[in-house]
Chains A and B, each alone.
Chain A
């Protein structure tokens, strides 16, 4: 265990120092008790509403935001407050933590992380399937197309939950067969983002652990950051869904689906 942790930590540190993706900071309580109660209750309501509409995107997003609010209520941690340097928990009886200081924030993107374990393949095999970028749309729900350019860069077009697309050119900044692929967007090519996928052998033949870290720079400066961080559950969920689909693709050769199956619903109504 200890060696695994150490090596993964080392890998992360190396990555972060090379690509300026800062390591996750310890989250702190910054939401007051009454506000937590209200947020938490709102989260429960939204979660149950979303659950009722579950197979739909609206339901999924609703439930997702519900979970986020519920978490805000339970944990007392708010990304927006953190980004804006607000701390309402300081008003609580026990909460004398130095008041509303604006933090010197080196954060420069909305970060998402997802992990999955794949069996029946070596890290090299899993790496190769990922490294063939043009095959990403076969398993990904979000990636519309990937075009490998003449200079070795690749042009990514990604769908967002609101129906728009984001495009950027990515350059590979680290590429070790069977271990890691790291990329960042080329300056001025579209949405600023950087990420890495790492492949590690799990202990005792438990398969290959695949970890993706992705950081996306929201537009519109600090306001964009605040909104982006509050809604960071959306790219995180999309990433997580996609990584699960990648596992399905690698392990079984197809993606589980019910799209196109019969039901007694009218054409065009919810699947």
Chain B
């Protein structure tokens, strides 16, 4: 089969690899119909995530048709059309039972190594996202092996297009969780750093959850245009405007009630702090560039919430703990508990309360993936979201 494979920083290739097979009794094989390039795939491409091995198949946003099931798979059957959460969860450990699916104890074969990195505890396994997260072959391919097929995949009713539901695999639940973590109350101003796919959808979800006003922050004018057009957001261009001054202006001096950092570890800000991070990371004295997070903390009102759907991987410097402590901020963060949100979000899509297709800017086939990774990374051609047919 054809698959998109990682071969080093900036080196993605489409290659012919063997078809996947059932390895465990609760596995299923999915024939992929639609798959996407995620912003977090760019972290892989840029070498930010430890534990990648040349030849790994990438991709974690995919859906398709079940073509084979292991002997212990009972809830999905051959022929079912399903979306597959990007995280693999067992459904039986303490965390899965609490709905904390991304903290699953049992799906990361390299849990022992991760536990050493994290102090203790490890993340769930993940499709196509490095051996740190289990080394599972990913979904930018024609076929994928899906472990614990009774726990992750959700059947999709006929009549809904792939494009409408494929984001249920990751970015829509991620955006929704980020908004939910905010604990939005009536009248709240929600500021969102980053207008990539997750940032834009987080703005959409924050509106759904009752935000009075959305402030969208980015450096790309075309993405700020999307935020204005689709989410009726006020926008701030970090390279042209003074972010704090604008937020003071837009909130009557209170600061944003809820701040969402949908940027993560590769922030490319225009501030002195961003410049400092760039240098520090270049000389290997830090791993994560946290300028967006810093701004979120500084611009949050007292007692507000900072919600972090953006991906962080290692250690960071100049984290303004004093401001966070002094203002009594609440932090919520983490990988998305996708399974927890699948059904309610599918219902919202069916009721037309959410139509996430507005973020799609590029449609192509698997063969075009390597070129589109670069387009997406360089924000060329007004690229916001790439959807691939397999």
Q: Check A55–B111 contact: CB distance below 8 A.
A: no
B370 within 8 A of A: no
A137-175 interface code vs B (CB 8 A; 1 in, 0 out): 000000000000000000000000000000000000000
List residues of chain B with CB under 8 Å of any chain A CB.
1, 3, 5, 7, 13, 15, 17-21, 23-26, 50-51, 53-57, 72, 88, 90, 92-94, 97, 105-113, 116, 125, 131-132, 134-137, 145, 147-148
A184-211 interface code vs B (CB 8 A; 1 in, 0 out): 0000000000000000000000110000
Q: Check A260–B93 contact: CB distance below 8 A.
A: no
Q: Which of A111-145 contact B (CB under 8 A)?
A: 117, 119-120
CB distance from B58 to the nearest CB of A (A): 11
Q: Please, how many angstroms separate the alpha-carbon atoms of A254 and B108 in the complex?
A: 12
Known: A120-B92, A251-B93. A258 touches B106 (CB 8 A): no
Residues of chain A at interface, number, CB under 8 A: 36
In the bound complex, residues from chain A placing their C-beta under 8 Å from that of B25 are 253-254
A103 within 8 A of B: no
In the bound complex, residues from chain A placing their C-beta under 8 Å from that of B136 are 258, 261
In the bound complex, residues from chain B placing their C-beta under 8 Å from that of A237 are 112
CB pairs A–B below 8 angstroms (6 shown): A119-B93, A120-B97, A248-B90, A252-B148, A256-B88, A258-B23
A182 within 8 A of B: no
A257 within 8 A of B: yes
A86 within 8 A of B: no
Q: Please, how many angstroms separate the alpha-carbon atoms of A252 and B72 in the complex?
A: 11
Q: Which residue of A lies closest to B27 (CB)?
A: A254
Q: Check A263–B116 contact: CB distance below 8 A.
A: no
Q: Please, how many angstroms separate the alpha-carbon atoms of A210 and B21 in the complex?
A: 34
Contact of B106 among A51, A247, A265 (CB under 8 A): A247
Q: Which residue of A lies closest to B4 (CB)?
A: A264
A-B pairs, top 9 by smallest CB distance, nearest first, are A265-B55, A264-B55, A55-B131, A264-B5, A262-B18, A262-B17, A264-B15, A254-B24, A248-B106
Q: Check A67–B116 contact: CB distance below 8 A.
A: yes
Known: A244-B112, A247-B106. A257 touches B57 (CB 8 A): no
Contact of B125 among A244, A253, A256 (CB under 8 A): A256
* Max chain B C-beta neighbours (<10 A), residue from A52, A240, A253, A256: A256
Known: A251-B106, A254-B25, A260-B23. A55 touches B5 (CB 8 A): no
Q: Which residue of B lies closest to A116 (CB)?
A: B105
Q: Please, how many angstroms separate the alpha-carbon atoms of A255 and B13 in the complex?
A: 31
Q: Please, how many angstroms separate the alpha-carbon atoms of A77 and B26 in the complex?
A: 45
In the bound complex, residues from chain A placing their C-beta under 8 Å from that of B21 are 260
Q: Which of A52-72 contact B (CB under 8 A)?
A: 52, 54-55, 60, 63, 67
Contact of B3 among A67, A207, A258, A262 (CB under 8 A): A262
In the bound complex, residues from chain B placing their C-beta under 8 Å from that of A271 are 53, 135
Known: A119-B97, A271-B135. A263 touches B57 (CB 8 A): yes
A105 within 8 A of B: no
Contact of A63 among B109, B113, B147 (CB under 8 A): B113
In the bound complex, residues from chain A placing their C-beta under 8 Å from that of B131 are 54-55
Q: Check A263–B55 contact: CB distance below 8 A.
A: yes
Q: Check B23–A259 contact: CB distance below 8 A.
A: yes
Q: Which of A196-251 contact B (CB under 8 A)?
A: 206-207, 237, 240-241, 244, 247-248, 251
Q: Check A256–B116 contact: CB distance below 8 A.
A: no
Q: Check A258–B134 contact: CB distance below 8 A.
A: yes
CB distance from A216 to the nearest CB of B (A): 19
Q: Which residue of A lies closest to B14 (CB)?
A: A264
* Max chain A C-beta neighbours (<10 A), residue from B24, B25, B53, B108: B53
A25 within 8 A of B: no
In the bound complex, residues from chain B placing their C-beta under 8 Å from that of A51 are 50-51
CB distance from B269 to the nearest CB of A (A): 27
Q: Check A256–B147 contact: CB distance below 8 A.
A: yes
In the bound complex, residues from chain B placing their C-beta under 8 Å from that of A52 are 50
In the bound complex, residues from chain B placing their C-beta under 8 Å from that of A24 are none
Q: Please, how many angstroms separate the alpha-carbon atoms of A244 and B51 in the complex?
A: 20
Q: Please, how many angstroms separate the alpha-carbon atoms of A254 and B150 in the complex?
A: 14
A18 within 8 A of B: no
Q: Check A264–B17 contact: CB distance below 8 A.
A: yes
CB distance from A68 to the nearest CB of B (A): 11
In the bound complex, residues from chain A placing their C-beta under 8 Å from that of B107 are 256
* Max chain B C-beta neighbours (<10 A), residue from A51, A119, A254, A265: A254
Q: Check B92–A54 contact: CB distance below 8 A.
A: no
Q: Check A270–B125 contact: CB distance below 8 A.
A: no
Q: Check B112–A262 contact: CB distance below 8 A.
A: no
In the bound complex, residues from chain A placing their C-beta under 8 Å from that of B135 are 55, 258, 271
In the bound complex, residues from chain A placing their C-beta under 8 Å from that of B94 are 117, 119, 206-207
In the bound complex, residues from chain A placing their C-beta under 8 Å from that of B97 are 119-120
Q: Which residue of A lies closest to B116 (CB)?
A: A67
Q: Check B72–A54 contact: CB distance below 8 A.
A: no
Q: Please, how many angstroms separate the alpha-carbon atoms of A51 and B148 in the complex?
A: 28
Q: Please, how many angstroms separate the alpha-carbon atoms of A122 and B55 in the complex?
A: 43
Q: Check B92–A262 contact: CB distance below 8 A.
A: no
CB distance from A249 to the nearest CB of B (A): 9
Q: Please, how many angstroms separate the alpha-carbon atoms of A130 and B197 in the complex?
A: 48
In the bound complex, residues from chain A placing their C-beta under 8 Å from that of B113 are 54, 60, 63
Q: Please, how many angstroms separate the alpha-carbon atoms of A51 and B94 in the complex?
A: 29
Known: A119-B94, A251-B106, A254-B25. A264 touches B50 (CB 8 A): no
CB distance from A171 to the nearest CB of B (A): 30
In the bound complex, residues from chain A placing their C-beta under 8 Å from that of B109 are 255-258
